[in-house]
Structure 1
Amino acid sequence: MQFVDALPVLAVLGTGVVYGVDVFFALIGRRALAESSDAAIADVMGRLHQVADARMPIFGVTGLLATIASAAVSPIGTTTIWLNLIAIAGLLVQLSLYLIVAKPINTKMTEAAQRKEVLSDIRELQHRWDSVIVARAIAMTLAVGCLITATSLR
């Protein structure tokens, strides 16, 4: 197997990790957190963001770079290149929502959890974070679907 042949696999695997996390929180996490206490949200989500923000970028970056590289080596005008370009668009939408909305909230929650503090606006912060998770999950679903389809066409 040549490196070029491994690019779609890397794209699917890296993107798949982020996809799974976003879909989990869109379908399960939001509901569970809505029924949790402020203290539980503050502690658990602060600690989850602390760990995830340190570890998840490797998967997201791998997925995005492999998708870009896969598009770059796809023949122009083929369905494969279009699927890769649509996947890139989905990944960039998800990344933008993360960087603009979620990341600043993650940072506040992480810092508060490290201080063992429950922020007075913890529920509002969680609600704001939740407000983009469905869109992030949809963007990732589009990306993963396109990547899997493009891989099957190779």
Structure 2
Amino acid sequence: MRRAVLPVAALAGALALAGCGSGSGSDSGSSKAGLSVSASYMPQPVSADMAAGFLTIANKGGTKDELTSVTSDIAGQVTMHSTVGGAMQEKTSFAIPAHGQLVFKSGGNHLMFEKLKRKPEQGQKVTLKLTFAKSGPLTVEMPVKSATYNPSTGH
């Protein structure tokens, strides 16, 4: 019986250490600033060549970072925009404060998927890669929702 305890304890220790290790730049779940993505979605586009995308990037770390680019295999290019006073302006980067968040939502900051290679349909997922100034890139699977989806109601 004692022999079984030693390998189990060694395995548990190894798993605990693996969970504490720092991620590499290609690990989609870790970053220097402690970044994570939630609430991502794309309303099903009404246009065949353009779509919008929304998400929240949380920074639980003590280091500020900056979103510098977004790419997706579904689009020729993905641009980042802010909307202030009803005027949309393309941005080259967005700051993500330490212990803060960056929100992309309808009527505010948002992503524009331009030159679509195919029109995404409700129920599908779109893959995008977020690139940051300091942290490693994050890969996000963004679900396509109905064109009239409202995240506050879930419909």
Normalised-by-shorter TM-score class: under 0.3
Q: Give the TM-score of the pair, scaled to structure 1.
A: 0.22
When the two structures are superposed, what TM-score results if normalisation uses the length of structure 2? 0.22
Q: Which of structures 1 and 2 has the bigger CA Rg?
A: 2
Higher strand proportion: 2
Q: Identify which of structures 1 and 2 has the higher relative contact order when contacts are C-alpha pairs closer than 8 Å and 6+ apart.
A: 1
